[in-house]
Structure 1
């Protein structure tokens, strides 16, 4: 990663990436940075260090986060949660995103305004994937397709 890209990363992602290990079969290593609003940024491991491609993607997405997050929140509206709000907890460029064939996942957790220990706490991952290139040449402009990949803990 050149110094110019590194400087941009530090502006968009102001904390250092630290190694994390997720459970799974097999378990795997990734890297995480935390934004000032406590949103986690997760990138894959590449030979014992954070993936430079993952960091490049993270910089781009964090810089256009408001628009992409608003698009993702539109998909949460039909889930009909009241008495609380959806909070973006992570933007995942790591193994989980790759598993779903996505460029990245935006991960949301529902936070109730009145805590109820018996209530379920919904967690939703919304995947962003580039469509297959439909045309060639300079007229091609990428567009993300939004889909809910997984949802757990939702009460029916």
Structure 2
């Protein structure tokens, strides 16, 4: 295979075929985020440096990162910042668990922004992060957020204080 020289002002990485770039992105993200025995990634640190290289690399690396991993987002400043930074890219999440704590007002804002954008294949899991958050308060919050809309979402509990929401038709 012969690689063409990169165009001026273009990242040399972009001259490599996409299939190879995807492998590179996966390795770089694994190295930067480390391997874990867990089957999920906690979004609790700043965006990987790879996402700040250029728009095209960010987009391609996000596909690799968001579609191949399961994520947990907590009500931490960094966790919520992830949702802010990703913006419309939240539709690329394949599996997302949101840990809801006592600050329901902040979470309502994020859910309200998140729900119209979620992809049809996202499995959204809501789990209480704070034991002191009452079930009735959480239920009221989820109802207000529109997650109990039976025309849009199927709802299932899994016995671990977690509620699973899937869009109907997905």
TM-score normalised by the chain length of structure 2: 0.26
More helix by share: 2
Return the index of the structure with the highest Cα Rg: 2
TM-score normalised by the chain length of structure 1: 0.27
More strand by share: 1
